[in-house]
Each structure stands twice: as structure tokens, then as C-alpha cells.
């Protein structure tokens, strides 16, 4: 791919929050689900070519990120269970509606190495500044993975929305989905399998147009 084609994908990537009611979720055809699942699986595998600095060496795996995918069935079930899992959920909470509209949800976590996250690791033998740097670079690498994923989904014709995750960050949800609590959620990526269709509700990201010219945040020295 040449640079203009890549630039075009980067600019085309756009947040779309797609929502449907829990009682009337979006129903995809078997073909749409198959194509979407395949596109997402391919995008995840290719996104794994993101750079990473330190061997995280957890479970013998060097990469500092992990991905947990909820397929459409799992998303719809979770949408229905949501209010019983989180009794204090506000009526304005959008997660059940997004779980009722997406094709899949990819939860991207990162693995803190030192006492920084929920589970943390050992502090011994490494100077504090170095510990902070290593964990920052684990997050940076996992973020490169997420942006790769969003761009690949865009190139596949699939929609995406990077959310901080709300209740998906909680210990209760980690336990419910059997995600180890030594991981921390970096991105809840809602994947839209039919971005061209008329969803009941579709909202753009709030900072889309809030961008300064590169000359304002970069300089050549």
C-alpha cells in the first residue's frame, strides 16, 4: 500500500457509536456475521504486528496486550443481563444499547508489570523511574495495537468505536468474563458489522472536529 492510500484509511477511521434497544437488537444475517467475524479475526492477527519494547513474559508470551472477543450472541446476552449484574446502573448508561447493536466487542487489555494495576507485579530490584517507564511503554505498545486494529477494521469496511469501557473495567465484569485481574482494560472496541445500514441510533465521537493543525502541536528543531 502506498502512503496516500494509508493516509486515506487513517482519515476515514471514525468513531461511530451505534445503539439499538435491548428488546429489539440489530439482527445480522448469517453471512454478515461470518464475514464480520472473519474480518475481525484477521484484523486482530495483523494488528499484532504493532511494536513493543519489553518482553512482558507473562505465560511465556512476549506481547504486553491481550484481546478478549465477545461475539454477537454473547453481546446480546450480556446486554440483557447488564442491569442484574450492575444494580446501580443509570438509565442513561449506553453500554446495553451498544451491546445490542454491535457485531462483536473486542476488549483489549494490557499487563502491568509492576505494582501499578489491579494485580500488579513485583517491585523488587528495579528503580522506580524505570518501573514507571516500562509500564508506560507496555501501555504505549498496547495502544499501537489498538490503533492498528481500528485502521484494519476501517480497511475491512467494518465500523468501530474505542470506548474506555465503563463497567467493563470493573472487577465484577472481569470475573464474569473470566479475564484475569492482573490485566487492565485499555479499550473496549465495539465493532459494527454493517456500518452502511440504518441503525436506530448512530452518534459520532465528540472530538472529531476538535483537531488543531499539525503546526500547533509539532515542531521541527
Ligand X SMILES: Cc1cc2nc3c(=O)[nH]c(=O)nc-3n(C[C@H](O)[C@H](O)[C@H](O)COP(=O)(O)O)c2cc1C
Given the rule CB under 6 A, which residues bind ligand X?
14-15, 162-164, 204-208
Backbone angles phi, psi at 3, to 5 degrees: -60, -45
- Looking at the Cβ atoms of 75 and 108, the one nearer to ligand X is 108
In the three-class reduction of DSSP (H, G, I as helix; E, B as strand; rest coil), residue 113 is classed as coil
Of residues 17, 2, 13, the one with CA closest to residue 43: 13
Q: Which residue is nearest to ligand X (CB)?
A: 205
Task: Supply the minimum distance, in Å, between the C-beta of residue 180 and ligand X.
Answer: 21
Task: Supply the minimum distance, in Å, between the C-beta of residue 193 and ligand X.
Answer: 18
Q: How far apart are CA 172 and CA 170, in angstroms?
A: 5
Of residues 148, 147, 121, the one with CA closest to residue 54: 121
CB neighbourhood size of 109 (10 A): 24
- Looking at the Cβ atoms of 122 and 164, the one nearer to ligand X is 164
Task: Supply the minimum distance, in Å, between the C-beta of residue 143 and ligand X.
Answer: 7
- Looking at the Cβ atoms of 14 and 21, the one nearer to ligand X is 14
Task: Supply the minimum distance, in Å, between the C-beta of residue 27 and ligand X.
Answer: 25
Find the distance separating the first CA and the last CA of the chain, reported in whole Å.
30
- Looking at the Cβ atoms of 35 and 162, the one nearer to ligand X is 162
Amino acid at each position: 500500500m502506498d502512503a496516500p492510500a494509508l493516509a486515506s484509511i487513517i482519515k476515514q477511521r471514525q468513531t461511530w457509536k451505534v445503539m439499538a434497544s435491548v428488546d429489539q437488537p440489530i439482527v445480522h444475517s448469517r453471512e454478515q456475521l461470518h464475514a464480520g467475524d472473519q474480518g475481525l479475526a484477521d484484523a486482530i492477527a495483523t494488528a499484532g504486528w504493532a511494536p513493543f519494547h519489553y518482553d512482558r513474559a507473562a505465560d511465556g508470551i512476549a506481547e504486553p496486550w491481550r484481546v478478549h472477543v465477545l461475539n454477537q450472541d454473547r453481546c446480546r446476552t450480556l446486554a440483557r443481563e447488564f442491569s442484574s449484574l450492575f444494580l446501580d446502573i443509570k438509565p442513561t448508561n449506553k453500554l446495553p444499547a451498544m451491546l445490542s447493536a454491535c457485531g462483536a466487542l473486542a476488549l483489549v487489555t494490557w499487563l502491568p508489570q509492576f505494582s501499578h494495576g489491579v494485580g500488579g507485579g513485583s517491585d523488587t530490584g528495579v528503580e522506580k523511574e524505570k518501573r514507571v517507564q516500562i509500564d508506560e511503554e507496555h501501555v504505549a505498545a498496547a495502544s499501537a495495537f489498538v490503533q492498528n486494529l481500528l485502521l484494519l477494521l476501517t480497511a475491512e469496511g467494518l465500523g468501530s468505536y474505542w470506548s474506555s469501557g465503563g463497567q467493563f473495567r470493573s472487577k465484577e465484569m472481569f470475573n464474569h468474563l473470566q479475564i484475569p485481574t492482573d490485566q487492565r482494560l485499555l479499550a473496549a472496541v465495539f465493532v459494527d458489522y454493517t456500518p452502511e445500514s440504518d441503525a436506530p441510533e448512530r452518534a459520532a465521537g465528540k472530538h472529531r472536529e476538535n483537531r488543531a493543525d499539525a503546526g500547533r502541536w509539532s515542531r521541527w528543531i
